[in-house]
Amino acid sequence: MTVLHLAETTVRKRKSKCAQVCSVKSVKKRLPIVGWLPKYTFTTLIQDIIAGITVGLTAIPQGIAYAVVAGLSPEYGLYAGLMGGFVYMIFGSCKDVTVGPTAIMSAIVAKYVSSYSADFAVLSAFLSGVIILLMGIFQLGFVVEFISAPVISGFTTAAALQIASAQLKAIFGLTGAAGTYFAASIYNFTQNIGTLKLWDTVLGFTSIAFLMAMKKLGEGCKRTDGAGKQMRWFISLARNAIVVIIGMLIAFTVKTITKGDEPLALIGEIGSGIPTFGIPPFTSVVGNETYSFPDMLKALGPESIVIPFVSILESVAIAKAFAGGVQVDATQEMIALGMCNIFGSFVRSMPITGSFTRTALNNASGVATTAGGIFTAALIILALSVLTSTFYFIPSASLAALIITAMFSMIDYTIFCRLWRCSKRELFVLFLTMAVSLGLGLEYGIVAGVLTEAAMLLFATARPSIKSVHVKSDTGRQSLMITLNDSLSYCSAEHVRREIFKATRISEALIVVDGTNLESMDTTVASNLMAVVKDLDKLSRRIVFVNFSPEIQKMCLVLHPNASDCFISAAKTEDVIAKVSTTSPPLSKVLVD
């Protein structure tokens, strides 16, 4: 009968679980498009078209630029922005978020591209997507909460410096390698400064000045303002596309005047047409060597696990920033991001995530739903189909200016002064993360920052603050009161024991351990506290534990049943001091009201 009852209960639970999964509420939660599509109107469509095209004007030059950062052929940047719009429209929960290539993701995969081939970037997108999707399904998003703000700031600052330094070659028109790491880029710059080209340098710095001026021009303007402010608003938002178009016109004009010569460095030919839909590369040929799937995994190495975590961190943070006070479903965002990377890898995409720049642009453009992304993708498809021959004339200096200007906004300049005033410990973590990121690589930097924070957290747990103060009762009796923290774990057991013994050496007064704030404690600490009772008993010294919770008392008395007289409850600790002295009889007899 019991077995039958258990089986029936199990069946009911499974039916209930299936009903929850298949419910309309659950479907709407995991497929947000089901919620907004039935209410879609013509007005909403117009809003999404305007926002999608506006974002596309930035997504195209940025995509090409970030492909260059990753060491990939320019068309890979457009491939990376292709599937995100379609997939996020179905699974995304935040209407403003745009998913595509970003500077940080490009910088992380750059070493795999330079050391091996583009196949490794595409495979890393697929693997990252699988990891992110699984983390979303199993609701493991809390893992990114272990990455603190100083670590994130140090990581992004280092990424900005590394990416900007890699563009020095292009903006000055230098020959030689750009450098994959910050130190290498600076070294190569100093070695090759003699090869500087005037045309590239002038165009590069003029483009930077123009981009900054155009950003300033749009401040205080909105899409709903008058005609004049609307024009300023649009020019400011489209500044990346304008700079690239002007650069292309200059390059074409100069080439025509000079009859074929190219004084400006151009990005050159890029692949045309829509990428062929196919499975990600699970084998690759680099030079004359064939890499199997296990070989590719070995080449990517354990440090590549940073890619999905950084991707989640960027995307969820951006979704929260533009949620308008609405709670973000981090699980759903991870599912959406995982699907975007998986499907993206089928069209030769590198790893992608939410883009802050394009998301802010999407929001400012008045996007109504996640359908705005498909119009951005449509513009990218148009660019791949008919504009690739035109992209030949994009100057490398113009792209470098675009990238360097974007890096300015990645750095949180205020956090340095804030941490200097408030927490030098966290400032140290920030600088450590920066130093390791710049010296060894971004993936090592964020790991070093997280491990350092974890070590500091463990040290604080192992060395909790234990306050001791002499208290005198109305009758003149003295006691040394030791106040415990709210939580004590096994790693703090010896520290607590040492602090109590230190107190007994400096004072002959009654030792009162106040557990009013103590909420949790493990058996290792309890064992050490009971050991203190035994040791002090041999020295004819009394110790009293005041206001310990019944659960903690029970834990201690299981280890030392004869210590029941040491645990008392009192509204005020001074009440204990008034009634107890070092020569008192058992406490259970003294403290009877």
Q: Which of 391, 399, 58 is nearest to 252 (CA)?
A: 391
- In tens, the pLDDT along 46-64 reads 889 988 888 888 888 889 8
The reply to whether 434 falls in a domain is no
Residue 27's pLDDT band (cuts 50, 70, 90): low
Task: List Cα–Cα distances, 256 to 1, 269, 312, in angstroms.
Answer: 92, 18, 47
The answer to whether residue 176 is domain-embedded is yes
Quote the pLDDT of residue 316. 84
Query: Is the domain of 249 the same as that of 322?
Result: yes
Q: Which residue, 410, 428, 444, sits at the end of a domain?
A: 410
Tokens representing residue 65 in the block: 């630029």
Q: What is the DSSP letter of 398?
A: H
Pairing of strands 467-472, 487-488: unpaired
Residues 304, 310, 312: CA angle, nearest 5 degrees: 120
Residue 469: enclosing H or E segment and its boundaries? strand 467-472
| 445 within domain boundaries | no
Between 292 and 364, the more confident residue is 292
Q: Are residues 177 and 159 in the same domain?
A: yes
Q: Which of 408, 396, 392, 280 is nearest to 345 (CA)?
A: 280
In this structure, the answer to whether residues 542 and 578 fall within a common structural domain is: yes
Mean pLDDT over residues 1-30, rounded? 57
Q: What is the CATH number for 539?
A: 3.30.750.24
**Do residue 217 and residue 257 come from a single domain?**
yes
Amino acid letter, residue 505: R
Q: Please give the pLDDT value at position 575.
A: 58
Same domain, 186 and 241: yes
Query: Does residue 116 form part of some domain?
Result: yes
Helix (DSSP H) and strand (DSSP E) numbers for the chain: 29, 11
Alpha-carbon gap, residue 60 to 462, rounded angstroms: 52
Do 127 and 23 share a structural domain?
no
How many domains is the chain partitioned into structurally? 3
DSSP 3-state assignment of 178?
coil
In a domain, 419, yes or no: no
**Is 7 in the same domain as 72?**
no
In the prediction, which pLDDT does 319 show?
84
Residue 576: what pLDDT?
60
Closest CA to 394 of 509, 554, 248: 248
Q: Is residue 416 part of a domain?
A: no
Give the pLDDT score at 1.
45
Residue 361 above 90 pLDDT? no
Considering the domain architecture, whether residues 473 and 373 belong to the same structural domain is answered as no
Residues 101, 185 share a domain: yes
pLDDT digits (tens, 9 = 90+) for 437-469: 888 888 888 889 989 998 998 888 888 888 888
Helix, coil or strand: residue 544: strand
pLDDT higher than threshold 90 for residue 128:
yes
Q: Are residues 257 and 226 in the same domain?
A: yes
276 CB-near residues (< 8 Å, 6+ apart): 347
337 and 218, same domain (yes or no): yes
**Owning domain of residue 100:** 40-410
Within a domain: 422: no
Residues 393 and 501 in one domain: no
| pTM of the predicted model as reported, rounded to 2 decimal places | 0.76
Say what the pLDDT of residue 267 is.
81
Cα–Cα–Cα angle for 192, 196, 201, nearest 5°?
A: 135
Query: What Rg, from alpha-carbon coordinates, does the chain have?
Result: 32
Residue 189 has pLDDT above 70, yes or no: yes
| Residue 187: other Cβ atoms inside 10 A | 14
- Average pLDDT, rounded, for the chain: 84
Q: Kindly report, residue by residue over 296-329, the tens digit of the pLDDT.
A: 999 999 888 889 988 988 888 888 777 766 777 8
Tell me: pLDDT of 586 over 60: no
Contact criterion met (CB below 8 Å) for 488 and 520: yes
Query: Which one of 388, 410, 432 terminates a domain?
Result: 410
Whether 313 maps to a domain, the answer reads yes
pLDDT at 373: 92
pLDDT at 416: 92
Residue 580's pLDDT is what? 54
Question: Is the Cα dihedral 337, 341, 343, 344 positive or negative?
Answer: positive
